[in-house]
Amino acid sequence: PNLEAETNLGAWLDRLLLTSNHLWSQSKTWDPEGLLSTLPAIVTGISGMLAGQWLRTARSPYHKAAGLLAAGAILAALGLVWGLAFPINKQIWTSSYVAYTSGLALLFLGVVYWLIDILNYQRWAKPFVVYGTNALFVFILSGFVAKLMYTIGWTTAEGGRQTVKGWVYDTIFTPLFSPMNASLAFAITNVLVFLALAWVLYRRRVFIKV
């Protein structure tokens, strides 16, 4: 095993225990949700839990914000240094990726906590509140809609296959933007569409929970 995509330790272990029949269909040699990559992914979740526990303590708001910012800076720096030897890689969720992204998340949380809870700048965060009140519902629905847009399609006159997603992208976004900006515009539009739906639910005080 080494650091190559198909021969790193995680890929080797997944092929050994799961076999290629149970790996990601687009690779068959490695899986982004494999056995070893699941462990550091759990640590990412734990870092969020610890941040929440820190905010629930009796410390002063200034102390809490400083703690989040300090921990975030240390973790982000650690991830960058660690990444020199063990690359930052989202696909297999490497430990350096965990440290770096957890650090960035804590830095962002510290800044947001400072703005909202200490300086009382709250109005700008309303869209995030709206999304957060129905986060699980929007997450599941957006995944379902994306699956439908990729699944539903038809055969073109040239004999190729066109999906709903491809048609929307090619018809609306490609003519207006460069390839990179078209992708960005499509993503932003997707976020805004589901934000509008979440806002309707929020205004009607409908909060879907498990």
Identify the domain containing residue 192 by its residue range. Answer: 126-203
Considering the domain boundaries, does residue 103 fall inside one?
Answer: yes
Considering the domain boundaries, does residue 55 fall inside one?
Answer: yes
Write out the two tokens for 64: 């809490």
The residue count for the chain: 210
pLDDT band at residue 26, thresholds of 50, 70 and 90? low
- With a pLDDT cut of 90, the percent of the chain lying above it is 71
**Could you report the per-residue pLDDT of 43-56, keeping only the tens digit for each?**
999 999 999 999 99
Burial class (CB in 10 A: 0-12, 13-18, 19+), 210: exposed
Number of structural domains in the chain? 2
- For residues 136 and 129, give the distance between their C-alpha atoms in angstroms, rounded to a whole number: 13
Considering the domain boundaries, does residue 100 fall inside one?
Answer: yes
Mean pLDDT of the chain: 90
Which of 58, 96, 104, 52 has its CA nearest to residue 78?
Answer: 96
pLDDT for residue 136: 94
Q: Please check whether residues 188 and 133 belong to one and the same domain.
A: yes
Q: Please check whether residues 85 and 144 belong to one and the same domain.
A: no
Last residue of a domain, one of 120, 152, 177: 120
> 162 has which bridge partners?
154
Q: Please check whether residues 149 and 109 belong to one and the same domain.
A: no
Query: For 82, what's the count of Cα atoms within 13 Å in the CB-facing half-sphere?
Result: 17
Q: Please check whether residues 116 and 36 belong to one and the same domain.
A: yes
Question: pTM above the 0.85 mark?
Answer: no
**Could you report the per-residue pLDDT of 37-94, keeping only the tens digit for each?**
888 899 999 999 999 999 999 999 999 999 999 999 999 999 999 999 988 988 888 8
Q: Which stretch of DSSP H or E encloses residue 48? A: helix 35-55
- For residues 137 and 129, give the distance between their C-alpha atoms in angstroms, rounded to a whole number: 14
Q: Please check whether residues 113 and 179 belong to one and the same domain.
A: no
Last residue of a domain, one of 120, 139, 167: 120
- In the numeric block, the tokens 């030897």 are attached to 85
Three-state DSSP state, 150: helix
Highest mean pLDDT among 14-18, 79-83, 159-163: 79-83
